[in-house]
């Protein structure tokens, strides 16, 4: 998901091979995820691990209970001046799941598109927020010195490149200052060409590609959305911790916090989990990740994130263009809270003062439209209003 999203995303379909999202298909002839529509889309989003190569995020034996609250809610939703039911919204917007957890209890849970509570669903860029959270875990573990450490400390291949001197903080706020073209309509853009880059022996493909880019502006000067750098941050965490991302996520959050099912994390052509994309998990496990943030990064009675990390990561660290209220560490700010968002309508909305988490999984016809995001945000606000009434 990127700010001021454009219909140009659709133009990428003309040039999108299976590599367009760094996907590694398990069989030949698989079309890019970006080209799926209708039932193929709904079926594929809930079974990515059967279509593409993934790494497993292991769950543990103890599952965090999510009991149903005595009072279930029925939000009043107004969109474009019309009152609609949640069921109507779900049907019209191809929503596969909506979940609301208030004070640790489920107050709303609905499924669509043939999905059940046991089915996973792909997260797309919601993963970025999870990756930034693993940066916090690596700092707490002493594997990354601080947010002000140079990213090249963990990725020596970046020394001598435009990334030398760029800090971890600047990476997490998408303000590296390195030149990058995210234009999905341009077949010569960096987002298109980097996806087609083949790995060099002993190096991750995205590290090799980004290390060749020039500087455009001073580091920290301005927000500039860069999908490649979110993958780079994932590689940084792996290098710093000495563990694959899926293993580290399992160790720090998935097992101790009590996720109910294994996650499936898409890997790139280098065999590395995508820091910017595509963990598949159940609707309730999306909710549990929101609860982990609400509970300030403590899992299994142990502190996973540094004190104050959650508040800092989910507050405005940089302006990202009107009318957006700002950007944290791979987290989007929302009225009364913050959110992790992914294309085709994936979202985790967290409202700290209300002790509320709201989750959406969808298969929107268009990947990334401002009107669809505005509607989802309005529905989340309506759910919040019903939950706190």
Sign of CA dihedral 305, 345, 190, 32: positive
CA angle 178, 184, 189 (to 5 degrees): 45
**Residue 384 has what pLDDT?**
98
Q: How far apart are CA 105 and CA 103, in angstroms?
A: 6
Q: Is 181 exposed, middle or buried (0-12, 13-18, 19+ CB in 10 A)?
A: middle
Residuewise pLDDT in 10s, the chain (389 residues) = 654 444 444 444 434 444 445 678 888 888 878 889 999 999 999 999 999 999 999 999 999 999 999 999 999 999 999 999 999 999 999 999 999 999 999 999 999 999 999 999 999 999 999 999 999 999 999 999 999 999 999 999 999 999 999 999 999 999 999 999 988 667 888 887 887 777 777 788 899 999 999 999 999 999 999 989 999 999 999 999 999 999 999 999 999 999 999 999 999 888 899 999 999 999 999 999 999 999 999 999 999 999 999 999 999 999 988 677 899 999 999 999 999 999 999 999 999 999 999 999 999 999 889 999 999 999 999 999 999 98
Q: Are 274 and 265 in contact (CB under 8 A)?
A: yes
Name the nearest CA neighbour of 331 among 300, 310, 354, 360.
310
Burial of 294 (0-12, 13-18, 19+ CB in 10 A): buried
d(CA 321, CA 358): 25
Q: What is the pLDDT of residue 2?
A: 55
Instruction: Classify domain 7-388 at the CATH topology level.
Output: Beta-lactamase (3.40.710)
Query: pLDDT value at position 200?
Result: 78
3-state secondary structure string, the chain? CCCCCCHHHHHHHHCCCHHHHCCCECCCCCCCHHHCCHHHHHHHHCCHHHCECEEEECCCCCCCCCCECCCCCCCCEEECCEEECHHHHHHHCCEEEEEEEECCEEEEEEECCCCCCCCEEECCCHHHHHHHHHHHHHHHCCCCCCCCCEHHHCCHHHCCCCCCCCEHHHHHCCCCCECCCCCCCCCCCHHHHHHCCCCCCCCCHHHHHHCCCCECCCCCCCCCCCHHHHHHHHHHHHHHHCCCHHHHHHHHHHHHHCCCCCEEEEECCCCCECCCCCEEEEHHHHHHHHHHHHCCCEECCEECCCCCHHHHHCCCCECCCCCCCCECCCCEEECCEEEEEECCCEEEEEEHHHCEEEEEEECCCCCCCHHHHHHHHHHHHHHHHHHHC
Tokens of 203: 């190096």
**Residue spans per domain, the chain:** 7-388
How far is 389 from 62, CA to CA, in rounded Å?
A: 33
What pLDDT score does 18 carry? 41
């Amino acid at each position: 998901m990127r700010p001021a999203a454009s219909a140009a995303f659709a133009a990428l379909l003309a040039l999108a091979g299976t590599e367009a999202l760094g996907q590694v298909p398990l069989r030949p002839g698989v079309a890019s995820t970006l080209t799926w529509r209708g039932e193929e889309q709904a079926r594929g989003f809930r079974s990515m691990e059967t279509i593409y190569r993934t790494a497993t995020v292991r769950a543990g034996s103890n599952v965090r209970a999510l009991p149903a609250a005595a009072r279930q809610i029925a939000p009043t939703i107004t969109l474009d001046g019309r009152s609609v039911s949640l069921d109507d919204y779900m049907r019209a917007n191809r929503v596969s799941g909506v979940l609301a957890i208030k004070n640790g209890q489920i107050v709303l849970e609905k499924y669509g598109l043939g999905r059940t509570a046991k089915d996973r669903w792909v997260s797309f860029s919601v993963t970025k927020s999870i990756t930034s959270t693993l940066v916090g875990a690596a700092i707490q573990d002493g594997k990354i010195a601080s947010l002000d450490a140079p990213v090249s400390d963990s990725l020596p291949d970046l020394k001598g490149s435009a990334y030398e001197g760029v800090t971890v903080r600047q990476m997490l706020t998408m303000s590296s200052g390195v030149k990058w073209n995210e234009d999905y309509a341009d077949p010569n853009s960096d987002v298109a060409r980097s996806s087609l880059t083949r790995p060099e022996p002993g190096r991750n493909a995205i590290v090799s590609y980004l290390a060749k880019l020039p500087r455009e502006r001073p580091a920290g000067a301005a927000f500039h959305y860069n999908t490649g750098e979110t993958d780079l941050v994932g590689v940084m965490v792996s290098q710093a911790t000495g563990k694959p991302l899926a293993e580290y996520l399992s160790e720090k959050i998935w097992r101790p916090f009590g996720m109910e099912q294994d996650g499936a994390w898409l890997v790139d052509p280098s065999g590395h989990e995508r820091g910017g994309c595509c963990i598949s998990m159940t609707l309730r496990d999306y909710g549990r990740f929101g609860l982990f943030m609400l509970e300030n990064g403590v899992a299994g009675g142990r502190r996973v994130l540094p004190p104050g990390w959650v508040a800092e990561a989910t507050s405005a660290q940089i302006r990202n263009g009107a009318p957006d209220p700002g950007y944290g560490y791979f987290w989007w700010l929302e009225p009364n809270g913050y959110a992790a968002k992914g294309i085709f309508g994936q979202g985790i909305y967290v409202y700290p003062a209300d002790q509320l988490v709201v989750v959406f999984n969808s298969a929107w016809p268009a990947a990334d439209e401002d009107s669809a995001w505005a509607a989802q945000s309005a529905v989340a606000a309506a759910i919040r209003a019903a939950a706190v009434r």
